[in-house]
Structures are given as C-alpha cells and as structure tokens.
C-alpha cells in the first residue's frame, strides 16, 4: 500500500534534484508531465519547477491525475485496510561504474564491447548509460579514483557481473576486438564459465554463463 509520507518525500527529492541541476531528472519530468513534453533538457532545467509540480509528477506516475486525487486514493486504500498487498517485484539492476571520462568510456564500451549508448547528460557528459541486450551499465564521471587500483587488481574487486547465455562466443568476440582481460575464460569449481574484462578506468566487469 502506498505511504503518503514516502510519496511526499519523493516529491521533495524531485524538487531538490531540479534545483541542484541534476540533469537526469529532466527526462523523468518530460515523460510524465504533459506541459514539459516538447522541452529539451536544458529548457526543463531552466524552467520554474515547484513542489506542486513535483507532487503532480508523483501523482501521474502513480496513475492519478493530480496530487489531491492521489492523496484521496491512498487514504481510501488505508481506510479499506486491505489485507492482500502485492509483493513488490525488482525489475532490474543497473551497476554504476566510476570513470574519468564518460565520452571515452562510451566509445570503449560501444566499439570494443558491443554496447550501445542509451543516453548521456552534460557537456561534456558527466553521466551516461550503455546497454547491450538486457545488460545496462551506468557511467558516472569522477575526478579521482574512489578505490585503490592496486587493491582492485589484487582482490579482484568487481564493478559489475553480467550473465550471458553463450559465454565463449562473447569471449572470442572481445578477444578479436582487443579487450583487456583481467581474467581469461575459465571454468569455475561450481560449473560456471567466466571471464573478466578491465575497462580503461580499471573497472572489472565479469561475464558468466552456464
């Protein structure tokens, strides 16, 4: 059952992101609020966006026309005291990789690892996402390494794990493309076949198949 206090907090978070110039929020605003539908990201971030707008965004995303309608709907559900509550389903996970240059990382993941760029934000980009089939990796620009590169190598600290239906052909594809391997293809004691790619920033990405 939706919690009204949590929904209020979500609305305030959207408002805060807009005020702080967090560009990824622009896509969400455009997709939910009709009056922003034709605006570019910069226009949305430069426009006036109030708590009322943020609350309307939460309401429409929840299937209501307005915040008052959402509030009444939540109260009605609470009054009914429904005993059967659907179990939330986790739909996907998107690991976030820290990189020094988002554009350069996008080029590596597309040209070497066969991903496609889903989106980038900023000029130059400070955030982006690459996708290949069901795998999505978020790229976040940082000025310095957040982890010790030597420790990553020594302890095999993975940034992401991706499950593959046929792992050997992918390994051969990456080998031909000149990918850097932290670990070549091998069969693990538990039966899985795995290999690990090292991206230009030292992030280790594991690929595993049966």
pLDDT at 185 over 80: yes
pLDDT band at 16 (very low <50, low <70, confident <90, very high): very high
Residue 87 domain-assigned (yes or no): no
Is 121 found in the same domain as 33? no
The reply to whether omega before 124 is within 30° of 0 (cis) is: yes
Is 71 found in the same domain as 107? no
Determine the Cα–Cα distance for residues 74 and 135; give it in Å rounded to an integer.
35
Q: Is the CA virtual torsion 6, 11, 12, 14 positive or negative? A: positive
Is 199 found in the same domain as 115? yes
pLDDT at 86 over 80: no
Contact yes or no for 64/70 (Cβ under 8 A): yes
For range 46-61, the mean pLDDT: 94
Residue 46 domain-assigned (yes or no): yes
pLDDT at 164 over 60: yes
Q: What is the pLDDT of residues 33-52, one digit of tens each?
A: 999 999 999 999 999 999 99
pLDDT at 181 over 90: yes
Residue 90 domain-assigned (yes or no): no
Range of the domain at 119: 96-209
pLDDT band at 136 (very low <50, low <70, confident <90, very high): very high
Is 204 found in the same domain as 106? yes
- As for how many domains the chain has, the answer is 2
Q: What is the pLDDT of residues 64-82, one digit of tens each?
A: 999 999 988 888 876 655 5
List the CATH number of the domain containing 142.
3.10.180.10
């Amino acid at each position: 059952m939706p919690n009204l206090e949590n929904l209020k907090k979500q609305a305030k978070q959207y408002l805060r992101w807009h005020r702080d110039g967090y560009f990824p929020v622009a896509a969400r605003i455009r997709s939910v609020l009709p009056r922003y539908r034709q605006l570019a990201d910069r226009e949305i971030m430069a426009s006036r966006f109030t708590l009322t707008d943020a609350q309307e965004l939460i309401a429409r995303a929840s299937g209501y026309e307005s915040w008052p309608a959402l509030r009444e709907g939540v109260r009605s559900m609470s009054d009914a005291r429904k005993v059967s509550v659907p179990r939330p389903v986790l739909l996907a996970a998107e690991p976030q990789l820290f990189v020094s240059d988002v554009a350069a990382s996008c080029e590596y993941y597309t040209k070497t690892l066969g991903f496609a760029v889903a989106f980038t934000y900023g000029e130059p980009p400070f955030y982006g996402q690459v996708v290949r089939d069901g795998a999505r990796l978020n790229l976040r620009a940082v000025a310095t390494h957040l982890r010790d590169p030597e420790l990553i190598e020594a302890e095999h600290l993975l940034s992401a794990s991706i499950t593959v239906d046929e792992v050997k052909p992918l390994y051969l594809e990456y080998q031909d493309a000149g990918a850097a391997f932290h670990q070549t293809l091998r069969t693990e004691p538990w039966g899985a076949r795995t290999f690990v790619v090292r991206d230009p920033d030292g992030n280790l990405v594991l690929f595993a198949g049966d």
